[in-house]
């Protein structure tokens, strides 16, 4: 029997009007590369589409640490389609074509659809300050702009067969310099269980720091799942598929002993090559903060995993 989810009020949905935006300015940035003892800097330039996003901050989401400086958050990134170095995305992602852009929604849904980025930008946006935890034991505090993924899910009406949600990222052979990487098969694929996707914390994200996403941060649309490691928050999404099978995700295939499907922040489960018990809050130089279970969001999400052995389902 189909799962009936509440529809979004019509006042919050604007009819699709796809239009072309021009990439319009060159922006200097500082590329930051990881080091054992601290941070090193270099110059980088990326061509961007940028626009202000008028989105009120949701005061229910507060992080005790100060916001990460915007320049650091936009130049210290993982985006393997543009290279493996932390500064590579800011250096190389400028040519990414982000207009026109559509997201195809397929699979076990009542109403498959293709939605344009302009439609997503017209959804009821809000800004949430989330901690963003990377598996390499560093974290940031970033004001993300977007909306709850469950709003989009409710529009397509998942059926009873929809147990998982699978996300596919863009493959642009003419702009993505890292696609020939031998240990990753592109497109980059990630997945969530349907209840994880419906959790109010899960955001479809269109911007940060009050502006549209820079290319290196996953323009024009990405996922943020704040209780999981950052690689679950896929960038530059072009397709969302609802399925009854657990997706075989990119990092599960590339490193099955190191990266599990769930990828919840869990200080009790170390990465095989480093500890996850502490983290370095950038721009800090040392791992001075104890890692919290579920990245500090246990109150909101721990019940999703009741009865599961989280050392087995890592």
CATH of the domain at 150: 3.90.420.10
Give the 3-state secondary structure of the chain. CCCCCCCCCHHHCCCCCCCCCCCCEEEEEEEEEECCCCEEEEEEEEEECCCECCCCECCCCCCCCCCCCHHHHCCCCCCHHHCCCCCHHHHHCCCCCCCCCEEEEEECECCCEEEEHHHHHCCCCEEEEEEEECCCCEEEEEEEEEEEHHHHHHHHCECCCCCEEEEEECCCCCCCCCCCCCCCCCCCEEEEEHHHHHCCCCEEEEEECCEECCHHHCCCCEEECCCECHHHCCCCEEEEEEECCCCCCHHHHHCCCCCCCCCECCCCCCECCECCCEEEECCCCCCCEECCHHHHCHHHHHHHHCCCCCCCCC
Whether residue 211 has pLDDT greater than 60? yes
Q: With respect to residue 313, please indicate whether it lies within any of the assigned structural domains.
A: no
* pLDDT for 49: 61
Q: With respect to residue 240, please indicate whether it lies within any of the assigned structural domains.
A: yes
* pLDDT for 246: 98
Q: With respect to residue 216, please indicate whether it lies within any of the assigned structural domains.
A: yes
Per-residue pLDDT of 222-259, as tens digits, reads 999 999 999 999 999 999 999 999 999 999 999 999 99
Per the structure, the complete domain to which residue 241 belongs is given by 52-75+98-305
* pLDDT for 82: 97
Give the total number of structural domains in the chain. Answer: 1
Per-residue pLDDT of 66-110, as tens digits, reads 999 999 999 999 999 999 999 999 999 999 999 999 999 999 999
Per-residue pLDDT of 141-164, as tens digits, reads 999 999 999 999 999 999 999 999
Q: With respect to residue 264, please indicate whether it lies within any of the assigned structural domains.
A: yes
Q: Work out the mean pLDDT of the chain and round it to a whole number.
A: 87
Per-residue pLDDT of 36-74, as tens digits, reads 233 333 334 444 568 999 999 999 998 989 999 999 999
Q: What is the mean pLDDT of residues 212-220?
A: 98
Q: With respect to residue 22, please indicate whether it lies within any of the assigned structural domains.
A: no
Q: With respect to residue 289, please indicate whether it lies within any of the assigned structural domains.
A: yes
Whether residue 116 has pLDDT greater than 80? yes
Q: With respect to residue 296, please indicate whether it lies within any of the assigned structural domains.
A: yes
* pLDDT for 195: 98
* pLDDT for 245: 98
Q: With respect to residue 24, please indicate whether it lies within any of the assigned structural domains.
A: no
* pLDDT for 50: 80
What's the whole-model pTM score? 0.85
């Amino acid at each position: 029997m189909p799962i009936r989810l509440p529809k979004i009020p019509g006042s919050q949905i604007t009819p699709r009007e796809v239009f072309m935006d021009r990439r319009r300015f060159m922006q200097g940035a500082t590329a930051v590369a990881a080091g054992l003892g601290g941070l090193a800097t270099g110059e980088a330039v990326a061509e961007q589409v940028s626009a202000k996003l008028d989105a009120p901050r949701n005061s229910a989401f507060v992080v005790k640490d100060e916001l990460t400086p915007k320049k650091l958050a936009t130049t210290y990134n993982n985006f393997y389609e543009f290279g493996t170095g932390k500064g590579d995305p800011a250096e190389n992602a400028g040519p990414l074509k982000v207009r026109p852009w559509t997201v195809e929604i397929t699979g076990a849904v009542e109403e498959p659809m293709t939605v344009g980025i302009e439609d997503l930008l017209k959804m009821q946006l809000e800004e949430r300050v989330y901690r963003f935890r990377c598996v390499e034991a560093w974290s940031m505090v970033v004001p993300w702009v977007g909306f709850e993924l469950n709003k989009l899910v409710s529009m397509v009406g998942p059926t009873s067969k929809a147990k998982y949600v699978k996300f596919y990222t863009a493959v642009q052979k003419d702009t993505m310099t890292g696609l020939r990487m031998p240990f990753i098969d592109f497109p980059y694929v990630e997945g969530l269980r349907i209840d994880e996707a419906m959790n109010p914390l899960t955001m479809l994200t269109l911007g940060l720091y009050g502006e549209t996403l820079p290319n290196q941060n996953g323009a024009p649309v990405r996922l943020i799942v704040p209780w999981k490691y950052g690689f679950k928050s896929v960038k530059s999404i072009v397709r969302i598929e609802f399925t009854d099978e657990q997706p075989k995700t990119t990092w599960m295939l590339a490193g099955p002993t190191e990266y599990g499907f769930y990828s919840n922040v869990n200080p009790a489960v170390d990465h095989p090559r480093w500890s996850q018990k502490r983290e370095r809050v950038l721009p800090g130089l040392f791992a001075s903060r104890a890692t919290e279970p579920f990245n500090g969001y246990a109150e909101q999400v721990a019940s999703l995993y009741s009865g599961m052995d989280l050392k087995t389902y890592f």
